[in-house]
Amino acid sequence: SSNAMWGGRFAGGPDQIMEAINASIGFDQRLAAQDVAGSRAHAAMLAAQGIITDKDAEAIREGLLTVLSEIEGGTFKFSAALEDIHMNVEARLIELIGDAGRRLHTGRSRNDQVATDFRLWVRDQCDAAIAGIAALQKALLGQAEQGADWVMPGFTHLQTAQPVTWGHHMLAYVEMLSRDLSRFKDARKRMNESPLGAAALAGTSFPIDRDATAEALGFDRPCANSLDAVSDRDFALDFLSAASICAMHLSRLSEELVIWSSAQFRFVAMSDRFSTGSSIMPQKKNPDAAELIRAKIGRIFGAQSALLMVMKGLPLAYSKDMQEDKEQVFDAADTLMLSLAAMTGMIGDMAANPDALRAAAGHGFSTATDLADWLVREAGLPFRDAHHVTGTLVAKAEAKACDLPDLSLAEMQEVHGDITEAVFDVLGVDNSVASRTSFGGTAPDNVRTQIASWKERLA
Ligand code: ARG
């Protein structure tokens, strides 16, 4: 049998199993648009440098547009014998335009070609992640605005800690997501150098203009070292790292939504649009989207580990191992974008329940710290002593199965004689949150200031 690609060197074709393990066309067809863009830039540069004729460059340009429209229209016949997207596009180009197509690969290798295509693809995904994160931030900000002063329990160890405001809790995620967003911006900036023209590994003897192709493809500059340009996939790892951290944040928020929407909490009601029912239990309305986000993002962490594993043992420059970079990154990017979109929909739709939030905020001795602070301020106790006195009062309330404000003044004075009627002023949840005016604290006025500043930043 003949060999579709290297018939000069090879007498026969590959074994079927060889083709099965070697071909990447099943997945790297997702790089078609980037591959065509890279080839167009390369051909235009070859002509500008006098390496091919303008006539050939024009034929290549038109041929590539035809190839791309065939791919986008679903009429293109992908061939596993042609291994990957690069060879598939080039073979079809040659079929369409003949000899001019055979000149396209001058001064270029699939090694710099794939590195270029993949960078362009990952760069787009950074932009998509940035847009997706900004949309989610806006949804959270909408929630924060609505309930800037709704009181709810703040937790540590998922045990009632101190009252906070709903707006404050929503803005906590806005802050986390802003760091995620900046990680994608940062990754995008770092990856924005062009590998094109590094050729196989050593550069080329043709008088190519790497600045021109870099600029045509929107890169800031060409990669400075040809070995590095074709060898590294750290740009994809940067993307996966940013994606992993963002995904971790989405998963924590998902976990909270699952807890909050339970009948035991009733902090939020998810919309019908983002819930599912049960085939047996008629009353059920399940937060499946939140659960699926929580579960799916493991794929992103897995992708990051997998690509680190692929890369860690490779000597410079290219090894075929690196073909295993793509499926991981494709899947991780798809998972992240879907999760961001689903989370944005859930957050935008969900209805918080201010009454349930407020009722829960008052349970679990959430204002015990306010009581201890009062003892420091008004009775002059050292904080550690105030902590002990308050702890005794909590134990007393617990024994009576009541909350702190339900103890009588007499009962309080049995524990410490200096406690006066005025202590009851600090035991309410509204008073508690209003008093947290330190910078970054949960006081409604602070939260409103933060909301205003985020509205400006996200506009
Ligand atoms: N399909 C290959 C990949 O994704 C393209 C590069 C092939 N280069 C080579 N020297 N075999 O890595």
- The interface pTM score, or ipTM, of the predicted complex is 0.97
The whole-angstrom separation of Cα 254 and Cα 142 is 18
The CA distance from 233 to 413, in Å, is: 68
Tokens of 145: 């605005």
Determine the pLDDT at residue 6. 87
Name the nearest CA neighbour of 191 among 227, 226, 221, 231.
221
Q: Which residue from 31, 320, 321 has its CB within 8 A of the most atoms of ligand 1, so it is best to mutate?
A: 320
- Side chain identity, residue 233: R
pLDDT digits (tens, 9 = 90+) for 243-256: 999 999 999 999 99
Q: Does 114 contact ligand 1 (Cβ within 6 A)?
A: yes
Gap from CA of 26 to ligand 1 centroid (Å) = 14
Ligand 1 centroid–CA 71 distance in Å is: 20
CA 322 to ligand 1 centroid distance, Å: 8
The whole-angstrom separation of Cα 135 and Cα 121 is 21
Which sequence positions are flagged as catalytic?
A: 157, 278
Q: Output DSSP code: residue 15.
A: P
Q: Which of the listed residues 114, 324, 327 should we mutate to test ligand 1's pocket, taking the one with most ligand atoms within 8 A of CB?
A: 114
Can you say whether residue 196 is alpha, beta or left, with left for phi > 0 and alpha for psi between -120 and 50 degrees? beta
The pLDDT of residue 1? 58
- Does residue 231 have its Cβ closer than 6 Å to ligand 1? no
Q: With beta carbons less than 8 A apart as the criterion, state whether 255 and 319 touch.
A: no
pLDDT of residue 448: 98
- Give the pLDDT score at 278: 80
Q: How far is CA 200 from CA 40, 91, 169, 220, 296, in A?
A: 19, 19, 52, 22, 37
User: pLDDT by residue (tens digit) across 154-169?
Assistant: 999 999 999 999 999 9
Q: How far apart are CA 93 and CA 42, in angstroms?
A: 14
Ligand 1 atom, smallest distance to 200 CA: 10
Q: Could you write out the DSSP letters of every residue in 2-43?
A: --TTTTTT-SSPPPHHHHHHH--HHHHGGGHHHHHHHHHHHH
C-beta 116 within 6 A of ligand 1: no
Q: Whose CA is nearest to atom 11 of ligand 1?
A: 320
Q: What share of the chain is helix, strand, coil (3-state, %, to 5)?
A: 65, 5, 30
β-strands 159-165, 221-222 pairing: unpaired
Give CA–CA dist 9/22, Å, rounded. Answer: 18
Reading the chain (459 residues) residue by residue, the pLDDT tens digits are 578 888 888 988 899 999 999 999 999 999 999 999 999 999 999 999 999 999 999 999 999 999 999 999 999 999 999 999 999 999 999 999 999 999 999 999 999 999 999 999 999 999 999 999 999 999 999 999 999 999 999 999 999 999 999 999 999 999 999 999 999 999 999 999 999 999 999 999 999 999 999 999 999 999 999 999 999 999 999 999 999 999 999 999 999 999 999 999 999 999 999 988 888 788 888 899 999 999 999 999 999 999 999 999 999 999 999 999 999 999 999 999 999 999 999 999 999 999 999 999 988 899 999 999 999 999 999 999 999 999 999 999 999 999 999 999 999 999 999 999 999 999 999 999 999 999 999 999 999 999 999 999 999
Block residue for tokens 């550069």: 203
Write down the pLDDT at residue 3: 85
Closest ligand 1 atom to the C-alpha of 326? 4
Q: What mean pLDDT, rounded, does the chain reach?
A: 96
Residue 4 pLDDT: 83
- In short, whether 322's Cβ falls inside 6 Å of ligand 1 is yes
Cα separation, 268 vs 169, in Å, equals 13
Dihedral (C-alpha) 18, 20, 26, 29: value to the nearest 10 degrees?
A: 10
Ligand 1 near 110 CB (within 6 A) = yes
Gyration radius of the chain over CA positions: 31
Q: From the CA of 192, how far away is ligand 1's center (Å)? A: 21
**Which residue's alpha carbon is at the smallest distance from atom 2 of ligand 1?**
323
Give SS3 for 75: coil
Centre of ligand 1 to C-alpha 320, Å, is 6
Do residues 171 and 140 make contact, with C-beta atoms less than 8 angstroms apart? yes
pLDDT at 225: 98
Round to whole Å and give the CA distance between 255 and 251: 6
Atom 7 (ligand 1): residue with closest C-alpha?
110
Q: Report d(CA 165, CA 149) in Å as an integer.
A: 6
d(CA 386, CA 392): 10
Closest atom of ligand 1 relative to the 85 alpha carbon: 1
The residue whose CA has the least distance to atom 10 of ligand 1 is 111
Distance 231 CA to ligand 1 centre (A): 11
Query: Is the shortest distance between the CB of 323 and ligand 1 below 6 Å?
Result: yes
Instruction: Report the distance separating Cα 271 and Cα 342, nearest Å.
Output: 12
Pocket test for ligand 1, best of 19, 82, 84 (most atoms within 8 A of CB): 84
108 lines ligand 1 (CB under 6 A): no
Answer whether 84 contacts ligand 1 (Cβ < 6 A).
yes
Exposure letters 302-335 (e unless 16+ CB within 10 A, then b): bbbebbeebbeeeeebbeeebbebbbbbbbbbeb
**Residue with CA nearest ligand 1 atom 12:** 323
Do the bridges between strand 193-194 and strand 221-222 make them parallel or antiparallel, or are there none, so unpaired?
Answer: parallel
| Exposed e or buried b per residue across 216-243, where buried means at least 16 C-beta atoms within 10 angstroms of its C-beta | bbebeebbeebebbbbbbebbbbbbbbb
The answer to whether the CB of 111 falls within 8 A of the CB of 85 is no
Separation of CA 243 and ligand 1 centre (Å)? 25
Q: Which helix (H) or strand (E) segment is 352 a member of?
A: strand 351-352
Query: Structure pTM?
Result: 0.94
Give, for ligand 1, the residue of 111, 113, 122, 326 to mutate: max count of ligand atoms closer than 8 Å to Cβ.
Answer: 111
What pLDDT sits at residue 285? 84
Tokens of 85: 């997207």
Query: What's the one-letter identity of residue 277?
Result: G
Query: In this structure, which amino acid lies at residue 142?
Result: G
DSSP 367-387: THHHHHHHHHHHH---HHHHH
Residue 317: is the preceding peptide bond cis (ω within 30°)?
Answer: yes
